[in-house]
Structure 1
Amino acid sequence: MGSICDQCAAGSFVGTSKCLKDLWIFEHFSESQLKELQTIGIRREISAGQLVFSQGGKADELFLVKSGRIKLSKVSEEGSEVTLDFRKHGDILGEDLFSGIDIYPVSARAMEETVTCGFNLNNFQSLVLQNPEIGLNVIKSMSNRISSLSGRIESLAEVSLADRLYSVLSGISKEHGCVVGDSCRIPFKLTHDELAFLVGAHRVSITKAMQVLVSKGRISSKNKIITLKI
């Protein structure tokens, strides 16, 4: 028998409550609350390259990534698309629903074959009205998440751009990387334009910072695939 996540990805929801327990937003939920969530769950299979939702679309569903990988991006006022983040197994999409938004502020596209378990906003709100403790537990988890993200933002205050870049790459590699010996490879391509936005710097500066990290042996890069020394 495969893992619970494998069972869910294959279409079986046996034991899904335990799998949901591993997701940060539901970490404070009781077993009975998790079972209630199962009653409103929506399973989706998303092909590589397919949109999960688009920027400006009606925000009415929360997605939990069960397998695969998803890229979040946003089209700027100038019309250029910028990469904001990457989500993998255990991550959530559409959490802005809890702030009362009406439309999705970003687009989400599958980078590979992906399976999600989602919850319709109206159904979720009805469940919260029936069981207010569920809403309180979501607020608690969101507060913990905000604290974690605040620490990530503080890392951007590093004086050296190379150190800032390495901090961002290190964070991506910890969430998505494949460890081989004393190295960790990020399994998807990252362009200098994407890195510039993630770090908050100009593309030319990122190119120079990459050269510094390579020269110091902290990273290597081939065909836009980056490997970090650990």
Structure 2
Amino acid sequence: MTAINSAAKQVTNKLATRINLVKPAEAPPAVAAIFEDIRKTKGPKFLTPTWGFFAHDPELLTHWWGLQKRLQKLAGEVPKKIMFGITFVCATEVGCPRCINNAQVHLQDQFGLSDGEILELSDFENSKIIPESEKAVYRFCRKMAFDQPTSEEDFGALRAAGYSDRAIVEMISLTILESGFIRRARAVAPFEDGALWPKENLPSATYANNVDSKKNL
């Protein structure tokens, strides 16, 4: 085998390990309609590669997006800033750079959090400005997301903060969803062609630099 053929085979083998995301420009009508709903609901720069992954099965894409839309964007009992805070806390705990950036940009763009407030949230247990009622939510969801034991005290803190059964269901549903998305990004993103995803559909340059980086492993 010549050196050229050997190099070509290595490239082919490398590409074979990649998952080809369904890009917006090539999406079939059913997928394109969901992509457009994501753009309208979250903003164009939040049509991230995650959706191109699930777009290989339009029915699954419909349900994954429908669940996130309900929990993060539609009316519920838990304030939306706290819901996005849950996503940020989970991403910070697992150390997924692109996931952290996605949640951070949401919090800054849509809720006006400053860089200082983001730092407080990243170390919420020691924060002097985050109220205990909010810390109780993040503490509970972080434990649940990463299979740490929860306690009567954890539930008691949620009740003391005034959260109903429905509110707790919302928190848990988002924690299950977002911790799953974060695990997917860490395990699968390095093997996707995310570098080809349109830059106008990414939250920031930081996200773009980590879109399929081995840093996600």
* TM-score with structure 2 setting the length: 0.30
Which of the pair is proportionally richer in strand? 1
Which of the pair is proportionally richer in helix? 2
